[in-house]
Structure formats: C-alpha cells, structure tokens
Amino acid sequence: MNEINFRQKTSKLDKSDKAPIFLEFYHDAQVLVYATGEKCQLSEWDAEKQKFRRSMAGY
C-alpha cells in the first residue's frame, strides 16, 4: 500500500531557525524521501495535519 507524508526535519535548522519540508513516499517497505525546497519556522508547521499553518506569512 502506498502512503505519502510531509515532514519537517527539525534536525536541519538553518541560521534563521527555518527547517526544510520533505515528502516521504512509502511503497512495498521502501521509502523515497524528496526535498520540496520549502522551509518554514517550527511554529508555522502543523505536524499533525502535515501542512503550513494559516498564520504563516504568504499562506
């Protein structure tokens, strides 16, 4: 069964305290991790809903 998740990697914070967003695709016990090129503050990411919060500038 296929599954797609978006995750914020908090271990990769840059100097402005922004963390990158990664797409994770699961298929037959294999994982493909793709960098989306998007970054945001920890407070601007909703991990449960896997999306940006509406309070983020430019939403």
Q: How far is residue 40's CA from residue 21's CA, in Å, rounded to a whole number?
A: 8
Residues 29-54 have a mean pLDDT of 93
Output the pTM of the full model: 0.85
Q: How far is residue 11's CA from residue 1's CA, in Å, rounded to a whole number?
A: 28
For the cut 70, the answer to whether the pLDDT of residue 59 exceeds it is: no
Q: How far is residue 47's CA from residue 14's CA, in Å, rounded to a whole number?
A: 19
pLDDT band for 28, please (50, 70, 90 cuts): very high
For the cut 80, the answer to whether the pLDDT of residue 45 exceeds it is: yes
Annotated domain spans of the chain: 3-52
* 54 phi and psi angles, rounded to 5 deg: -65, -20
User: DSSP H helical segments within the chain, as ranges?
Assistant: none
Which stretch of 36-40, 41-45, 48-52, 53-57 has the lowest confidence by average pLDDT?
53-57
